[in-house]
């Protein structure tokens, strides 16, 4: 069978795997054994030592096991944050970051190679869109990091390259796999999904009542500023987005995390803080302020620290909690999109 026609076995859930194996005339317990191997991160069917050779051969013939190969790895000298550039079978590359917090290890994974959304401050957005990742390719990033460092990851943030809600079906499938009892068994409460605001998908996700944390990349208090930096806002303006956020919080009982990249002279005035407070008042939420990372090709600069303080004070006086997000791996450009873009550029000979 041609490679492209083979089944992506690691993207199958337990029931689907069981159905496929039963069609192959296999007893039920085999699917449990194979599911376990896949979720331990094996790269080939040969590693499944308790599976009969004939069945392994049949699986090789019909299926493939996707995996994330380490192309490049940078380790922060400050805090041990590890940034990976992974490649998949077709040569597409994505970034992922492994971070250590007091409560354990967190992996920030990519959901797409590139992104269609074109946010002006984002290195991924500037690089354009390549393709969606499959559920198994999202999962493989976590597995590769666990195996490379011999540790267990306890938290996941879907905040790497790509817009998760623009790859909705694969992301939902990934969530099912990664939280499954016989998989990595990482609970939804330990997973955050970050979106630029694809409104209809937020409603869909809310109706699933998954208990995961929704992070919304707001970055502006009004349509004028938001549309100038985030094209998605022209399709789904702030009022519609916040209505969907309110719905998500009410439906799930989960606090929304609003991400707000502080950009010098663009969105960091006291008036912006007051407008933001007015807009999000009453939504069960928390605001994360992130001093913007400069990326090549845009001249946005980080806000001064007195701006951050003033923003926090103004939000607090309206009863809204805001904190400055701890930046990890600042010496290795840990925010996603930057490593890949430098590698892609250098391979095209555009920069050193």
Q: Which residues are catalytic?
A: 95, 336
Quote the CA–CA distance of 108 and 99 in Å, as a whole number: 8
Q: Minimum distance between the CB of residue 290 and ligand SAH, rounded to whole angstroms?
A: 5
- Which of residues 196 and 287 has its CB atom nearest to ligand SAH in the complex? 196
Provide the minimum distance between the beta carbon of 224 and ligand SAH in the complex, in angstroms, as a whole number: 18
Q: Which is nearer to ligand SF4, 38 or 266 (CB)?
A: 266
Query: Minimal distance in Å, beta carbon 127 to ligand SF4?
Result: 9
**Is residue 127 part of the contact set for ligand SF4 (CB under 6 A)?**
no
Q: Of 167, 217, 285, 342, which lies in the binding site for ligand SAH, with binding defined by CB under 6 A?
A: 217
Asked whether position 117 contacts ligand SF4 by CB under 6 A, the answer is yes
**Chosen from ligand SF4, ligand SAH, none, partner binding at 261 (C-beta under 5 to 8 Å by type):** ligand SAH
SS (H, E, C) the chain: CCHHHCEEHHHCCHHHHHHHHHHCCCCHHHHHHHHHHHHHCCCCHHHCCCCCHHHHHHHHHHEECCCCEEEEEEECCCCCCEEEEEECCCCCEEEEEEEEECCEEEEECCCEEECCCCCCCCHHHHHCEEEECCHHHHHHHHHHHHHHHCCCEEEEEECCCCCHHHHHHHHHHHHHHHCCCCCCCCCHHHEEEEECCCHHHHHHHHHHCCCCEEEEECCCCCHHHHHHHCCHHHHCCHHHHHHHHHHHHHHHCCCEEEEEEEECCCCCCHHHHHHHHHHHCCCCEEEEEEECCCCCCCCCCECCHHHHHHHHHHHHHCCCCEEECCCCCHHHCCCCCHHHHHHHHHHCCCCC
Per-residue binder mask for ligand SAH (CB under 6 A), 275-304, x = binder: ---------------x-xx-x---------
109 near ligand SF4, rule: CB under 6 A = no
Please list every residue from 39 through 58 that binds ligand SAH, using CB under 6 A: none
Q: Which does 136 bind (CB under 5 to 8 A by kind): ligand SAH, ligand SF4, none?
A: none
Q: Which residue is nearest to ligand SF4 (CB)?
A: 125
First-to-last CA distance in the chain? Answer: 42
Q: Does 186 bind ligand SAH (CB under 6 A)?
A: no
Q: Is residue 333 at the binding interface for ligand SF4, with CB under 6 A as the rule?
A: no
261 binds ligand SAH (CB under 6 A): yes
Binding mask 234-263 for ligand SF4 (x = CB under 6 A): ------------------------------
Tokens 């809204």 correspond to 320
Residue 196 touches ligand SF4, criterion: CB under 6 A: yes
Q: Which residues in the 203-232 window bind ligand SF4 by CB under 6 A?
A: 217
* Residues near ligand SF4, by CB under 6 A: 115, 117-119, 122, 124-125, 162-163, 196, 217
* Residues near ligand SAH, by CB under 6 A: 121-122, 159, 163, 194-196, 217, 259, 261, 290, 292-293, 295, 335
């Amino acid at each position: 069978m041609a490679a492209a026609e083979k089944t992506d076995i690691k993207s199958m859930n337990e029931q689907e795997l069981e159905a496929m194996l039963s069609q192959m005339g296999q007893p039920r317990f085999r699917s449990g054994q194979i599911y376990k191997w896949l979720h331990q991160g094996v790269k080939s069917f040969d590693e499944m030592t308790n599976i009969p050779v004939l069945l392994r051969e049949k699986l090789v013939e019909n299926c493939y096991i996707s995996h994330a190969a380490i192309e490049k790895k940078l380790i922060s000298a400050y805090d041990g944050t590890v940034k990976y550039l992974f490649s998949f079978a077709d040569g597409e590359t994505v970034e992922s970051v492994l971070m250590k917090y007091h409560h354990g290890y967190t992996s920030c994974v990519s959901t797409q190679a590139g992104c269609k959304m074109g946010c002006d401050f984002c290195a991924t957005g500037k690089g354009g869109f390549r393709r969606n990742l499959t559920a198994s390719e999202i999962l493989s990033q976590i597995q590769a990091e666990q195996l490379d460092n011999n540790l267990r990851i306890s938290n996941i943030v879907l905040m790497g390259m790509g817009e998760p809600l623009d790859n909705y079906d694969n992301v939902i499938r990934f969530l099912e796999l990664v939280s499954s009892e016989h998989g990595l068994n990482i609970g939804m409460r330990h997973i955050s999904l970050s979106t630029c605001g694809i409104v209809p998908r937020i409603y869909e996700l809310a109706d699933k009542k998954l208990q995961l944390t929704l992070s919304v990349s707001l970055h502006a208090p009004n349509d004028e500023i938001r549309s100038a930096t985030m094209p998605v806002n022209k399709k789904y303006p702030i009022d519609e987005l916040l209505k969907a956020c309110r719905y998500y919080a009410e439906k799930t009982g989960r606090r929304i995390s609003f991400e707000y990249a502080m950009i010098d002279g663009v969105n960091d005035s006291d008036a912006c803080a007051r407008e933001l407070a007015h807009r999000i008042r009453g939504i069960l939420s928390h605001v994360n302020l992130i001093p913007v990372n400069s990326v090549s090709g845009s001249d946005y600069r980080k806000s001064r620290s007195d701006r951050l303080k003033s923003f926090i004070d103004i939000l607090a006086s309206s009863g809204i909690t805001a904190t400055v997000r701890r930046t990890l791996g600042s010496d290795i450009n840990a925010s996603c999109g930057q490593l890949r873009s430098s590698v892609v550029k250098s391979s095209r000979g555009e920069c050193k």
